[in-house]
Amino acid sequence: MTLPARLTGVIPPVCTPLTPDHEVDTASLVRLVDHLIDGGVSGLFVLGSTSEVAYLPDGHRKVVLDTVVGHVAGRLPVLAGVIDTATLRVIDHVRTAVAAGVDGIVVTAPFYTRTHPAEIDKHFRLVAAAAGLPVFAYDLPVSVHSKLGADLVLQFAADGVLAGLKDSSGDEAGLRNVILGARDRGDITNFSILTGSELTVDNALRMGADGVVPGLGNVDPHGYVNLVNHATTGNWDDARTEQERLIRLFDLIRVGDPTRMGVSSSALGAFKAALHLRGIIETATMAPPQIPLNPDEIAQVEKHLVTANLL
């Protein structure tokens, strides 16, 4: 399908269910996609950070692309992360994603390499030229260790290099500079601004963001769709109430013992445990070297779901 000129609503970063021996569990993945579509999402983002993309070999990535694009069959747009260290490696992922039939790609600045602003500029322009379909910049300084400035993003938008931004920087002032700049400059049209900050979605939408890419949306897509619907219809107080409920639910990412595992294992482990407890995926297996939650920690996830009326 063709992407809409402005991508709006909830576009969750789709978790990647795995079998106990760390292969992609395609049956669970299909159920997860159905769960999200039933929840009312307006698009899917596969192979993002919440999808454990950095942990998945190319073979796994291809299975995810083929499974999701095939199952969705054009019912809603599919964006794909093409996450890798530098330009030529990213372009390889772009080719695979394009061949699989995705509707847009999501690209970070180079990482691991020490990269100058002029090189970040060149990177996005080369990837966009090779892609031939809409490109979204993925701003994730916690992983990439550089921040995409508002001026750079806006220039990319004006030059047609980018179709949108997925901002997971947590920098709301910077996000607002992009939103306001895109509105105030006369040379930008059809630029979609998505926030990845799942605890401030109502704020982002009030500021003028188009949509949201919430990791927690795997667990409770209906909640985020409600939130966006309230916002779209101007019921901002209801949007806030729903957001606050989701913030309390989000606490489940903290169940993992910080002496045994990192925040990433804890958060992804909790999302997957919740999806397992809700009967959507077969196991909560994560790709190595992530550390699995133990039964006590999973019991805490269960409590969060009960409190949120999700079990």
- By the criterion CB under 8 A, which residues form the site for its own copies? 22, 54-60, 83, 85-89, 91-92, 110-116, 118-123, 126, 142-145, 170-173, 176-177, 180, 184, 197, 199-200, 202-203, 206-207, 236, 240, 244, 247-248, 260-265, 287-291
Residue 169 Cα distances to 70, 91, 147, 152, angstroms: 31, 24, 8, 15
CA distance 226 to 231: 9
Return the residue matching tokens 């009030």: 206
Please count the residues of the chain.
311
Output the smallest distance, CB 172 to its own copies, in A.
Answer: 5
Positive or negative CA dihedral for 163, 168, 171, 173?
Answer: positive
**Cβ neighbours around 241 below 10 Å, total:** 15
By beta-carbon proximity to its own copies, the closer residue of 157 and 249 is 249
CA distance 125 to 135: 10
By beta-carbon proximity to its own copies, the closer residue of 37 and 307 is 307
Output the smallest distance, CB 108 to its own copies, in A.
Answer: 8
Output the smallest distance, CB 3 to its own copies, in A.
Answer: 25
Output the smallest distance, CB 205 to its own copies, in A.
Answer: 11
Q: What angle do CA 155, 160, 161 make, to 5 degrees?
A: 75
Output the smallest distance, CB 137 to its own copies, in A.
Answer: 14
Residue 158 Cα distances to 94, 152, 183, angstroms: 22, 10, 11
Q: 229 Cβ partners below 8 Å, 6+ apart?
A: none
Output the smallest distance, CB 58 to its own copies, in A.
Answer: 7
CA distance 87 to 119: 10
CA distance 177 to 83: 25
By beta-carbon proximity to its own copies, the closer residue of 75 and 248 is 248
By beta-carbon proximity to its own copies, the closer residue of 69 and 246 is 246
By beta-carbon proximity to its own copies, the closer residue of 75 and 260 is 260
By beta-carbon proximity to its own copies, the closer residue of 57 and 279 is 57
CB contact burial 186-209 (16+ within 10 A = b; e otherwise): eebeebbbbbbbbebbbbbbebeb
By beta-carbon proximity to its own copies, the closer residue of 6 and 122 is 122
Output the smallest distance, CB 197 to its own copies, in A.
Answer: 6
